[in-house]
Copies of this chain bind each other. A is one copy, B any other.
Amino acid sequence: MKILITGAAGFLGQRLALRLLERGELMDANGNRQPITELVLLDVAHSSHSGDSRVRVETGDIADRCLLERVITVETAAIFHLAAIVSGQAEADFDLGMRINLDASRLLLDVCRERDHKPRVLFTSSVAVYGGTLPPVVRDDTALHPQSSYGTQKAMAELLLCDYTRRGFVDGRVLRLPTITVRPGRPNAAASSFVSGIVREPLSGQRSVCPVDARTPLWLLSPERAIESLIAGCELDRELLGTWPVVNLPGLSVSVAEMVEELRRIAGNDVADRIDWQIDSRIEQIVGSWPGSWETSRGERLGLAPDQDFAAIIGAFINSRNSSDPVSGGY
């Protein structure tokens, strides 16, 4: 089985590639486990890899049709389309966000359509598709009123993927990801970058700025669970997804204050006191427009699970810190 990962040099992309290689197989559309014979890693940045003979690295612009035509062939059974411009950057550079988050997604779907073999396309969307006046708990049938260009572009790409799926051009699935935390590495241009920063930096003896009110509710998922969910989402039986193949991934609803209190409990006052509270209205406006919780019964029915609690998320991060990890990411 041939698999493509876009955004493969990113935080989730790298981990997904490692996990797939470790697993060695993926379920095909008929529910049969197939060995992974080729894993194509596409990114604008060079994807590091282990020298595994199954891996093929492709470096280039995902909005380039020729490149997509080279990496997507009739043998490509599954595509994990993770490539994206993160929220803060898409807000700062509107045209770049449109080009990668919308146009490249459409191009990818069009190349699949040309190939005419209906590959599975797993597309990652986000809490950021929601916005405006939201109910306390967002439901699967809550309208999308995104208040950022990133959220708008993701919502448009979702619609496109659903129509390409309805028409039988691809076998698409959309997973809306909570804010993934704790990410290792450095801060990035995502508006949610601080969510990992206020845990990661204090644990490393560094100060970190929290740019939003402590009461801000966040909807969180650990990197480990996110990777498991991506694979499970790709393997889901088409029939179970019905006419709207978009799934809000289960997560944990935790306020920033609760995050810090848990960090204090686990790592002590010295660590938790390394957070500086400086409101950044640009970030607060974007992050504050995202839901702090959503209804997850559909995701759970499909077998997708959240983390146990935020203590488990911090614990997993502390355990993984010994392994060197130069990559950060976010949305």
Contact = CB atoms under 8 A, between A and B. Distances in A.
Interface of A: 94, 131-133, 135, 140-147, 149, 152, 155-156, 159-160, 162-163, 166-167, 243-244
8 contacts: A132-B243, A135-B141, A141-B145, A144-B144, A146-B162, A146-B163, A152-B160, A152-B162
Given A132-B244, A156-B156, A163 B143 contact: no
Given A142-B141, A143-B144, A163 B152 contact: yes
A145 B140 CA distance: 10
Given A144-B143, A243-B145, A160 B167 contact: no
What's the number of copies of this chain in the assembled complex? 2
Nearest to A91: B167
Given A152-B162, A156-B156, A160-B156, A143 B140 contact: yes
Given A144-B159, A149-B163, A159-B159, 8 more contacts: A94-B167, A132-B243, A133-B141, A145-B244, A146-B162, A147-B243, A152-B163, A156-B160
Contact of A166 (B147, B155, B163, B244): B147
A118 to B, nearest CB: 15
A139 to B, nearest CB: 8
Contacts of A135: 141
A148 B167 CA distance: 9
A162 B149 CA distance: 10
A144 B160 CA distance: 12
A132 B159 CA distance: 13
A143 B145 contact: no
Contacts of A155: 159
Contacts of A146: 159, 162-163
Contacts of A163: 146, 149, 152
Contacts of A140: 143
A87 B122 CA distance: 28
A244 B145 CA distance: 7
A106 to B, nearest CB: 8
Those 8 A-B pairs whose CB atoms lie nearest each other, nearest first = A152-B163, A141-B143, A156-B156, A145-B244, A143-B143, A152-B159, A156-B159, A132-B244
Given A94-B167, A156-B156, A167-B94, A145 B132 contact: no
Contacts of A160: 152, 156
Nearest to A157: B156
